[in-house]
Structure 1
Amino acid sequence: MDYGLVSFGSALGEPLAVADAAPQYTEDTERIQAYGYRAIHRAPPDVGLTDLAANARGPLPPRCDRGRAGG
C-alpha cells in the first residue's frame, strides 16, 4: 500500500489592494502601507478554508481510492 501526496495545489481569494482593505482593520494605515505589500487575497464571506482547499486539490487521479481502507 502506497502512502504519500496525491496532488498539491493552491487557491487564493480575489486580489484586493492593501490600501483599500487596511482601513477596515486599523486606523494606522500608513504603518500597514510601509510594510510594502500592495495586495492581499480575500475570499468571499461564504467561502471557508475547506472550500479553498477543495478547489486547490483539483480533480483526483483516476486510481485514487478515496477513504477506502486497504485500497
Structure 2
Amino acid sequence: MAEHSTELRNGHKRTTIKLECGENVALCRCFQSKEFPFCDGTHKTLDSDVGPVIVQTPKPEKSD
C-alpha cells in the first residue's frame, strides 16, 4: 500500500510517496480530496475538467 509523509522544507510542504513494485496510485489534482494527496473522486462533483494523476510502477520481472 502506498505510504506518504509530508514535511516542511524551506517554508513549503513537501510530500513523499513510497510505492511497491507493481503498485498504482491516483493522485489528487483538484486539491479537494479528503484523502489528499490521494484522489477520492471529489473532482467528479466539481465544475472542472481536472482529474487525477495516475502513477503506475512496473511490475516486478519474474525470475526463472
Higher strand fraction (1 or 2): 2
Structure 2 length normalisation: TM-score? 0.22
Structure 1 length normalisation: TM-score? 0.21
- Give 1 or 2 for the bigger CA radius of gyration: 1
